[in-house]
A and B are shown apart, each in its own frame.
Chain A
Amino acid sequence: MESIRLIEVKEGILSDNERLADELRKQLAEKKTFLLNLMASPGAGKTSLILKTIDALKNDFRIAVIEADIDSIVDSEKVAETGIPAVQLRTGGFCHLDASMVKKGIDTLDLNSFDLVFIENVGNLVCPAEFDTGAVKKVMILSVPEGDDKPLKYPLMFTVCDVLIVNKIDFLELSDFDTQKLKERVIALNPKIKIIEVSCRTGQGINIWADWLRNEVSAFIGRPV
């Protein structure tokens, strides 16, 4: 009878993805291309925010969008109507993007021609939070109809993001959404997060978000705008 041996493994399960994400981040830094990972539930307003942001920043930066969807091209068609290049990744049932999938999208773009690339992640508050995509900044959207209790249900997403966009604030008076309570819950998880309230429909607050992003991208690429 062979005896049981104990082997030390000491290896992170997501380490392959993290290594690939770091390589991608390095490549993007050399090319001075700012990659932004945008995450939210389905219907929170990811595509709407991207369209509004393109509108605000298209004269300052050369922009492209990587769209991830389980199986459709409607979002990339909407983006392409603005004249901005859009790469559609079909995840084929996968609930999130990882660094290798993002790299496939990035490899179809000539990075010398872009300052800012958005990733529109799969609509989901769970899995995308776990996977590093190689992005410089992570931004999430929570829309008012989803409710102010979401930080309690999906704490990791709120913990990993640099910015929280609260969208659809034009719905506030129709709902019992408590913005103050939301902020307290979010800051308890992530004191460093920046919270910006917007309505993609009315355009309210979009300038605050666009100013923040303009400063970040400008500093990253080393070109004042």
Chain B
Amino acid sequence: MHELPVIKSVLDICIRHARINSANKILSIDLSVGEMSDIEPEWVQRYFDYVCKGTIAEGAKLIIERTPVLFQCDKCSHQFNIDINKIKTLKCPACGDDKCTLISGREYYISNMGVI
């Protein structure tokens, strides 16, 4: 679905950073992807292999780390992780209040890349 424009965006950002750092070739890219984002690592690599042809990132390996879903309680500010596939009701484990705000778990983020 929207993987292709997202992956094109990854490539553009990486090439820009490679230029800034005078790198000749991108070998690997570390991506952080929230557990709440619907992203299939296998497809992401396949799309990337397609868009990176003829660029300095051709052949680069994507290393995808899934980051957990983190909520913060509105009442007591306690932060806690949830497993999105198992959760039935959202409640703060510290005070039991059910008004909580999503802090992270939706991100698509490039943390590092390996270059020569």
Contact = CB atoms under 8 A, between A and B. Distances in A.
A3 B109 CA distance: 25
Contacts of A43: none
Given A11-B109, A13-B10, A188-B87, A6 B100 contact: no
A7 B113 contact: yes
B100 A10 contact: no
Contacts of B80: none
A2 interface: yes
Given A184-B89, A188-B88, A191-B99, A2 B116 contact: yes
Contacts of A188: 87-90
A136 interface: no
A206 B52 CA distance: 50
B108 A12 contact: yes
Given A127-B2, A191-B98, A10 B37 contact: no
Given A7-B18, A10-B110, A13-B9, 20 more contacts: A2-B24, A4-B114, A4-B115, A5-B114, A5-B115, A6-B112, A6-B115, A7-B21, A7-B23, A8-B112, A9-B29, A10-B109, A11-B110, A13-B31, A14-B9, A94-B5, A156-B37, A156-B38, A184-B88, A191-B100
